[in-house]
Structures are given as structure tokens and as C-alpha cells.
Amino acid sequence: MKKVISLVLALILVLAVFAGCGKKEAAAGKTIYILGPTPDHGWTAQAGAYAEKKAEEINQKGEYKAVYMPASSGEEQVDQVQTIIANGDAAGVVFFALEDSAKAGQEALISEKIPFISFDRIIEGPDKYAVLNASGDNWQCGAGIAYWLQQKGMAPGDTMVTLIGDNGTVCSRRQEGFEQFLRGELEYYDDDTKQTYKTTQVWTQAEIDALCADYKVVCNWSADGAYDYLEQKLADIVAAAKDNGNKLFIYSMDDEMTFGVLRLLEGNAIDEATKADLEAMEVYISAIGGMQELYDVMMGKSSQSPVAEKYFDDMMSVYFSPKMMTNVIGYMEDYLAGKWDYEVGAGKYEVVWIVDKNNVSKYEGFTGHAE
């Protein structure tokens, strides 16, 4: 009887060991999943292209399997997370949320204790549980544009158009940085000049609110969104600016939206009297991204360069490269290798800087503008 009992106990012990090994393997898979946009055009698509290339590099190393899962909506990304959970082999997830509706997907990862890094669009709530929240420094994007426009003469009471990407954290942080700089609460550090700049005039919140109140629109990151809005509003905007010091400032939060303005001005949708008034006044326009096509406009190498020279006194784009997604995927590799000093929920923000006609020849942009 003792032998039988000993045999049973030994068998139980063996089964327990195998069960324990199985649980360990399930909790520490060997696949890095990368969620992001479908590569087609624009900033997000280029981020997707860089992600695909980085996944290939990881697969070649052989330590982990990397799977890039493109999507066109936040809801689709939630479905992708359910697939990842069902696969049961996730080591970690790099999550470029396309919309705030992807929040449920991040919450599912949290529930399953699957580590994830949130990239670019930082969704409030899940961000507290992310291994890391990584993006370009959107506050500095806004501060840099405020600094640049101020250097071009923008002052309280002036006329400004604000072209917004969407209502997520990317643009809300850019607007926060813009306002914080003008209020004197945030300095702008330029990684090109290696200098830090302060506002030359401290604005009140009331002055900032008045600047941003009349002409603003959410463009959904598209040239068409900017085009459609200004096709309807530009005559009124130009008339207001003409009566208000004959100056116009355009705070565009993305290269694509700036291209929308250019396309409108080179076409026939705007009456000639409005165009003549616009040409006669001081006009300064920003952008954020780093598309080579926009750099070519600045350098006079584009078919749209004459339009820009005719209607804009100056233009710029804050360098905010989609190549940073490559770095973010690398952070997940570091995390899995134990090379990690960040607390859960921490943020890491890459430096940005102004690119204009004075330094544009130093930088290579990314391609992907949709004509």
C-alpha cells in the first residue's frame, strides 16, 4: 500500500510540475505583436511601414517572433486584441491606437496581464497601466509653433486659423504646449540650434482664447478636411485679417493639412479678390511631421513652391518623424530583455524641432503625401 501511495504522490508531483511549466510558458510567450495603421499614405501609414520593417528585423534575429497587425479603425484593433489573447503566445504588445475607441483593446490587455507599450495616441485610463507611454513631444510641438509664430510677429488681438488633427491626446497636448509657451509656463527647446527659448511677451488666457476662438476646425488629419473648411471660410478669414493689421497666422498641426491649404490656393475654388488680398498681407503657416514633399516646397523644388512663395511670407514644419515607431518597438525588446528603468505608466517623449527654409536642407523627410 505504501508503494502505491508513493507512486500516486510521485505521479501527482510530476503532473503538477508539467502544469506549472505550461502556465509559465503561457504567461511569457515569444511573440511581439505590433498594432498600427494600414500602410498607404501620410504620417501614420509611414509609421506602419517602419513597423513592418522592424518586425522583419526581429524575426531575423530569431529570439522573438514579431507580427505586425495593420488596421483602419480603433474597433478593428479591439478585435485584433481578442485574437492576440486567444493565441495565448504574446510576450508583449506595441499599441499604436488609431482612435480612442481602441481603449477597450488596451483594457483587455490589462485584464490579461499582457504588457503593452502605448505609442503616439495615449489613451487616458489605460495609460496608467502601460509599460511605457511613448511619443514625440507634442507639448514641444505646440510650444515650437507658438515660438515661431511669435517671432513672425504674432501678438494678442491678431487673426489665427487653427487646423486640428482630431480630438485625441496628440492635438490636445499640442494645444496645451502652444498655450503654455505663450503664458510663459513652458520653454521651447530646439534640438537643431541646441537653444532654449522663452516667450517674449506673456499672454493672458483671455488673449489666447480670443486668438483661438473664431477660426478652428478638426480636419481628421487630412488635406481634404483643411481644404473643405477653408474653401467655405477663407474669404471671411482674409477679410477679418485685412481689417486687423493685415496679418494672418495659420496654426496647422500636421503636414497633410498644410498641403490642403496649398492645394486650395493653387486651384480655382477661391475668388481672385480674396487671393489678391491674401497675397498682399503677411501670412505665416506651420505644420508638424516632416514629409519630404513639404521640405521640397520649402526648398523651391516642388511644383507647389511658387504657390507657397506667392501667398506665404514663411512656412515651417516641426520635425516629428514616424521613424520613432522603430525606436518604440525597440523599447519592447529592451523591456523583455530586462533592460528597463521605467515605472509602469511612465512617459517617454522624443525631441522635436523647427524645420524651415533656413535648415531644411539638413534633414531628410519621409515620403507619403497623397496628392
303 is in which domain, residue-wise?
Answer: 138-321+353-362
Residue 49 lies in a domain: yes
69, 33 contact by CB (below 8 A): yes
Residue 338 lies in a domain: no
The mean predicted confidence, pLDDT, of the chain is: 92
- Please give the tally of structural domains in the chain: 2
pLDDT tens digit string along 203-227? 999 999 999 999 999 999 999 999 9
Give yes or no for residue 7 having a pLDDT over 60: no
The rounded distance, in Å, linking the Cα atoms of 43 and 290 is 9
Q: Residue 243: left if φ>0, alpha if ψ -120 to 50, beta else—which one?
A: alpha
Give yes or no for residue 125 having a pLDDT over 80: yes
Q: State whether 234 and 357 are in the same domain.
A: yes
Q: State whether 101 and 155 are in the same domain.
A: no
Confidence of residue 22 (pLDDT cuts 50, 70, 90): very low
Give yes or no for residue 44 having a pLDDT over 90: no
User: By three-state DSSP, how is residue 362 classified?
Assistant: helix
pLDDT tens digit string along 105-121? 999 999 999 999 999 99
Give yes or no for residue 258 having a pLDDT over 80: yes
- CA-nearest of 72, 38, 40 to 371 is 40
* Beta strands at 90-96 and 116-119: parallel, antiparallel or unpaired: parallel
Q: State whether 122 and 145 are in the same domain.
A: no
Residue 101 lies in a domain: yes
Q: Would you list the DSSP string of 195-250?
A: EEE--SSPPPHHHHHHHHHSEEEE-TT-HHHHHHHHHHHHHHHHHHHHTTTSEEEE
Give yes or no for residue 3 having a pLDDT over 60: no
How many residues does the structure list for the chain?
371
Q: So what's the pLDDT on residue 46?
A: 87
- Domain ends where: 104, 130, 156? 130
Largest Cα–Cα distance of the chain, in whole Å? 105
- Domain ends where: 95, 110, 130? 130
- 59 against 45, higher pLDDT: 59
Q: So what's the pLDDT on residue 370?
A: 56
Cα distances (Å, whole numbers) of residue 143 to 124, 151, 217: 22, 12, 20
Cα distances (Å, whole numbers) of residue 11 to 1, 15, 24, 184, 328: 15, 6, 20, 72, 46
Q: The domain that contains 46 carries what CATH number?
A: 3.40.50.2300
pLDDT tens digit string along 310-327? 999 999 999 998 999 999
Q: State whether 275 and 153 are in the same domain.
A: yes
Q: So what's the pLDDT on residue 36?
A: 94
The rounded distance, in Å, linking the Cα atoms of 295 and 343 is 38
Q: So what's the pLDDT on residue 10?
A: 45
Edge-to-edge strand ranges of the sheet holding 132-136: 65-71, 31-37, 90-96, 116-119, 132-136, 347-350
- Average pLDDT for residues 11-33, to the nearest whole number? 51
* Beta strands at 314-319 and 282-285: parallel, antiparallel or unpaired: parallel
Q: State whether 171 and 317 are in the same domain.
A: yes
pLDDT tens digit string along 126-149? 999 999 999 999 999 999 999 999
- CA-nearest of 254, 217, 238, 371 to 311 is 238
- Average pLDDT for residues 317-346, to the nearest whole number? 96
Q: So what's the pLDDT on residue 137?
A: 97
